[in-house]
């Protein structure tokens, strides 16, 4: 694409008022700022707020799963109508993209989604993405829209990912803004407050967790509030919010997808020698496996942990755990390849 890609995630708490209803003055400000950025970037907006827009239509709303799904069903078109109304003032057309986990876990479906977004960009249309809450399988849901935004940013090769939040950015113990944050620091995640908003599913811990994944995939991340005028614009210039530097990343696009978009089904623990080999970009052999923690079948993505139970890599299994145990019971197959180096991404 001719323009770099920018992904901005708007959480429910950042675009609603004190009583939990959509704040159209904030949507208006978003449209005005995005209209400026649209000239420079191919953009994806990941917006929560469907439940907030629709919950007033659900009698005696208490926030149960079925009520949230029903509220989202009503709220999604209302949310898009509001965005469309304010973006039309800048002659910008928007498109809706309701995503499910399978759109990212299946490589072919992911590539189709990417091609659709590229067609929208080619026609100067800004896609607004959200999880398809109405039909999403509970076991295969995104943890929240922070994850969806990260998967889009990593999968599409964005240069920057912005998380909007209800606070100015990441705050220290004295509630002062941290302007730059190295997410590779051991205690970086401890800076996050554990509190979640009443409307959203995530919090600062979630944002920093996915921000770390994005920065490791070569994407700069900015965490910023929308309280002040032009915060999106000033955040990109480094004058507000918390900026997290992108790490150097040379892995190919397919491995980036494997690291971010695939569904992990199995887990196994490896010994020190295997951990060293994996970090040296070598294949995983049966001889290096200490134990199978969760079963898997051939073709599924497995999580590889070291002796300290720390996740070191993800890999696509070439053989099922059941077959591994069967073959081991029949005869020692120490050179049996579980995952080829081309199908392993080191984290």
DSSP for 281-347, please give it: T--EEGGGEEEEEE---TT-EEEEE-TTS-EEEEEE-SS-HHHHHHHHHHS--TT-EEE-GGGEEE-
Same domain as 35, residue 177: yes
> Which residue in 9, 8, 12, 17 sits closest to 196, CA to CA?
12
Same domain as 334, residue 296: yes
pLDDT at 209 over 90: no
| Residue 180 to residues 162, 184, 245, Cα–Cα distance (Å) | 14, 12, 8
Same domain as 276, residue 201: no
Can you give the pLDDT at residue 83? 97
Mean pLDDT of the chain: 86
Same domain as 303, residue 170: no
Same domain as 203, residue 61: yes
Q: Model confidence at 248, in pLDDT bands (50, 70, 90)?
A: confident
Same domain as 77, residue 98: yes
Determine, yes or no, domain membership for 238. Answer: yes
Same domain as 195, residue 272: no
Determine, yes or no, domain membership for 30. Answer: yes
Q: List the structure tokens of 238.
A: 């480094």
Which residue range forms the structural domain that includes residue 281? 263-346
| Least confident residue range of 3-12, 106-115, 256-265 | 256-265
Determine, yes or no, domain membership for 274. Answer: yes
Same domain as 287, residue 163: no
Q: Hey, CA dihedral for 37, 42, 47, 50, is it positive or negative?
A: positive
| Least confident residue range of 181-185, 235-239, 278-282, 290-294 | 181-185
pLDDT digits (tens, 9 = 90+) for 22-61: 899 999 999 999 999 999 999 999 998 898 899 999 999 9
| Least confident residue range of 112-121, 152-161, 189-198 | 189-198
Last residue of a domain, one of 207, 228, 253: 253
Query: Which position has the token pair 């007033």?
Result: 56
Q: Which CATH number characterizes residue 317's domain? A: 2.30.130.10
Same domain as 274, residue 236: no
Can you give the pLDDT at residue 266? 84
Same domain as 327, residue 236: no
Can you give the pLDDT at residue 332? 57
- Percentage of the chain surpassing pLDDT 90? 48
Q: Which CATH number characterizes residue 174's domain? A: 3.40.1160.10
Last residue of a domain, one of 196, 218, 253: 253
Q: How many domains does the chain have?
A: 2
Q: Hey, CA dihedral for 5, 188, 263, 329, is it positive or negative?
A: positive
- How does DSSP classify residue 194? -
- Who wins on pLDDT, 122 or 254? 122
Can you give the pLDDT at residue 190? 73
Average pLDDT over residues 179-203: 66
Last residue of a domain, one of 253, 272, 307: 253
Q: What is the CA radius of gyration of the chain?
A: 21
Q: Model confidence at 201, in pLDDT bands (50, 70, 90)?
A: very low
Q: Model confidence at 166, in pLDDT bands (50, 70, 90)?
A: confident
């Amino acid at each position: 694409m001719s323009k770099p890609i920018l992904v901005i995630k708007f959480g429910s708490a950042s675009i609603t008022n004190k009583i939990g209803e959509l704040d159209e003055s904030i949507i208006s400000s978003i449209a005005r700022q995005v209209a400026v950025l649209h000239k420079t970037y191919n953009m994806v907006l990941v917006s929560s707020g469907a439940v907030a827009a629709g919950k007033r239509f659900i009698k005696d709303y208490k926030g149960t799963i079925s009520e949230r799904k029903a509220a989202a069903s009503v709220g999604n078109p209302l949310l898009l109508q509001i965005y469309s109304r304010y973006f039309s003032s800048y002659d910008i057309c928007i498109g809706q993209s309701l995503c499910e986990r399978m759109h990212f876990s299946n490589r072919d479906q992911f590539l189709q989604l990417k091609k659709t977004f590229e067609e929208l960009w080619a026609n100067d249309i800004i896609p607004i993405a959200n999880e398809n809450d109405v039909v999403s399988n509970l076991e295969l849901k995104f943890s929240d829209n922070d994850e969806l935004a990260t998967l889009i940013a990593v999968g599409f090769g964005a240069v920057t990912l912005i998380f909007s939040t209800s606070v100015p950015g990441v705050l220290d113990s004295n509630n002062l803004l941290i302007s730059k944050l190295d997410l590779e620091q051991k205690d970086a995640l401890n800076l996050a407050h554990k509190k979640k908003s009443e409307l959203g599913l995530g919090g600062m811990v979630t944002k920093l967790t996915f921000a770390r994944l994005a920065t490791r995939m070569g994407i700069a991340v900015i965490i910023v509030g929308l309280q002040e005028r032009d915060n999106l614009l000033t955040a990109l210039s480094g004058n507000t919010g918390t900026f997290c530097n992108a790490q150097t990343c040379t892995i190919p696009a397919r491995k980036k997808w494997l690291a971010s978009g695939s569904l992990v089904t199995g887990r196994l623990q490896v010994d020190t020698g295997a951990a060293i080999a994996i970090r040296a970009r070598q294949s995983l052999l049966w001889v290096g496996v200490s134990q199978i923690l969760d079963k898997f079948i051939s073709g599924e993505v497995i999580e590889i942990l070291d002796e300290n139970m720390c996740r070191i890599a993800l890999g696509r299994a070439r053989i099922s755990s059941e077959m591994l145990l069967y073959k081991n019971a029949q005869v020692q197959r120490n050179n049996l390849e579980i995952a080829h180096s081309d199908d392993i991404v080191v984290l």
